[in-house]
Amino acid sequence: MAVERVIGIETEFGITTRNPHGFDPVGNSILLINSHEAVQAIKAIWDYAGENPLLDARGFEVSGERERPSQKDNRAINKVLLNGGRLYVDGAHPEYSSPEVMNARDLVLYEKAGERVLEMSRQAANRLLPPDAHLYIYKNNTDGKGNSYGSHENYLMARGVPFEKIVEGLTAFLVTRQIFAGAGKVGAENQTDPVEYQISQRSDFFEAWIGLDTMAKRPIINTRDEPHADEEKYRRLHVIVGDSNMSEFATYLKVGAMAIVLSMVEDGWVRKDLALEDPVRAIKEISHDVTCRRKVRLKRGVELSGVEIQREYLEMAWAYYQGREASPQVLDILEKWAWVLDKLEEDPWQLHRHLDWVIKMELIRSYMERRKVGFEDQRISMLDLQFHDIRREKGLFYLLERQGLVERIVTDTEIEEAVEFPPPDTRAYFRGMCLRKYRDQVYGASWSSLLFDTGDAAVKKIPMAEPTRGTRKLVQEVLDRSGSVRELFDNLTG
């Protein structure tokens, strides 16, 4: 039986400055996340105690050092947010991790809240910098110089599902999902075949089918075994094979369809043989064909297009829910999934309000027609980049949004609330509300615990190994009658 699907997303953002000469991305990322007043007020460190990125889901631990920052560095590069999420510096990028949510619509909401947090931080940082050093933030996946940074989805799964079943059930889905989840990209990178425009920003950078690494030899199926939950019951599927989306619709469908397929995998409902002959080659071939008609070869000898493979999954999903209760949101996702596949098969350009890669391509086409230029013109690459500018008053995606030219899933009012408050139906609620109520006494936080300074010699820990507990329904009454952290511990243990 499939577990309740707890979901989160981690987004690495591109960062640059008006005058890139001598630009220090690490230093500027640290400045960025420490500049916003609401973030500065929270002093909690990030608790790395339960993290081990060297564990492999195939049953072994790879050799290597687990890097842990000093307490001083920890405070500088990690900020726990009032909405239950996390803002931090990962390598040379600012990164936002959403709080845990229970459905695709809430994921869209809290993912967009991350953009707002980064933009507020950028504005605050720029007030400290001279005009020629102002920072700019882009929600994209490549710097155009051979470097890629990711958008990683995380899904709670049952530990009892053999990992080989996950690989078998998901590979073809993930390779082809880009036809509605790709962010669009001018040109090719990583020594792949040249192309004027392609569907995905990330596909050129995948070089392995299965593996643990996320920086080099990137795999389509990532094997990190770091559940951030009860390790006897759960695994966290860490999905690195996705683009950062500006479109709310694309994010909603990307995550919603993925969650449905995972339930099918857990319940043994992926019953068609969709094994690809060469997944690494296929992911690039599909990305490089904006007509969505190119076929890739399966191991059993047949050739199918990305749309056809997605239809196979959709048909299994409809059959899966014939004998199960489906929420209104699941039914909405299934209907949108079917509608998008129909449009992609007929003419992808009908989706110019919905999918990032089509929205961007229409913008570029219009510009090229007006200016009488081709893809080789440097301004086209700049258009590509400016599409991902998170400034709502300047970014090209947000220009289209203000003009009512893109489809929306959530409202601005809901996003503003998601910046301030955690989702009510996961453990993120307890994390976020404790930070709000006991801010000065929260010593540290992780996804699966909170550490409190009660004035005693040692910090006290509240474990949070069950992601579906710590909800408003379960903890609000206790929080209301706990005026101090000592009272909170007494009321939780009494």
SS3 assignment for 223-283: CECCCCCCCCCEEEEEECCCCCCCCHHHHHHHHHHHHHHHHHHHCCCCCCCCCECCHHHHH
Tell whether the torsion through CA atoms of 323, 329, 331 and 336 is positive or negative: negative
Please tell me which residue in 56, 90, 278, 453 is annotated as part of the active site: 90
Tell the residue number behind the tokens 């940074």, with chain if given: 149
Positive or negative CA dihedral for 189, 194, 200, 206? negative
In whole angstroms, give the CA distance from residue 321 to residue 109.
26
pLDDT tens digit string along 346-360? 999 999 999 999 999
Closest to 266 measured CA to CA, from 103, 157, 172: 157
What is the per-residue pLDDT for 228? Answer: 96
CB atoms within 10 A of CB 395: 22
CB of 468 closer than 8 Å to CB of 100: no
Residues β-bridged to residue 206 = 218
C-alpha distance from residue 316 to each of 92, 217, 222, 270, 394 (Å): 41, 32, 24, 7, 43
- Residue 364: count of CB within 10 angstroms of its CB: 22
Report DSSP letters for 439-484, one per residue: GGGEEEEETTEEEE--SSSS-EEEE---TT-S-HHHHHHHHHT--S
pLDDT in the model for residue 383: 97
* 215 DSSP assignment: S
Cβ within 8 Å of residue 101, ≥6 positions away = 6, 7, 8, 107, 109, 110, 423, 425, 426, 428
**Cα–Cα distance for residue pair 463/43, rounded to 1 Å:** 20
Which residue reads 């195939």 in tokens?
58
Residues 257-273 as b/e (b if ≥16 CB within 10 A, e otherwise) read bbbbbbbbbbeebbeee
226, 238 in Cβ contact below 8 A?
A: yes
pLDDT per residue as tens, the chain (494 positions): 788 999 999 999 999 998 877 789 999 999 999 998 877 778 899 999 888 888 889 988 887 767 788 888 999 999 999 999 999 999 899 999 999 999 999 999 999 999 999 999 999 999 999 988 999 999 999 988 889 999 999 999 999 999 999 999 999 999 999 999 999 999 999 999 999 999 999 999 999 999 998 777 899 999 999 999 999 999 999 999 999 999 999 999 999 999 999 999 999 999 999 999 999 999 999 999 999 999 999 999 999 999 999 999 999 999 999 989 999 999 999 999 999 999 999 999 999 999 999 999 999 999 999 999 999 999 999 999 999 999 999 999 999 999 999 999 999 999 999 999 999 999 999 999 999 999 999 999 999 999 999 888 789 999 999 999 999 999 999 999 999 999 999 999 87
pTM above 0.85, yes or no: yes
Please say whether the beta carbons of 135 and 16 come within 8 A: yes
Query: DSSP letters along 339-403, please?
Result: HHHHHHHH-GGGGTTT-HHHHHHHHHHHHHHHHT--TTSHHHHHHHHHTTB--TTT-HHHHHHHT
Residue 370, token pair as written in the block: 């007006």
CA nearest neighbour of 344 among 404, 286, 257? 286
Please, what are the domains in the chain?
7-414 (3.30.590), 424-493 (no CATH)
Q: Is 193 a catalytic residue?
A: no
Per-residue exposure over 130-150, b if at least 16 CB sit within 10 Å of its own CB, e if not: eeebbbbbbbbbbbeeebbbb
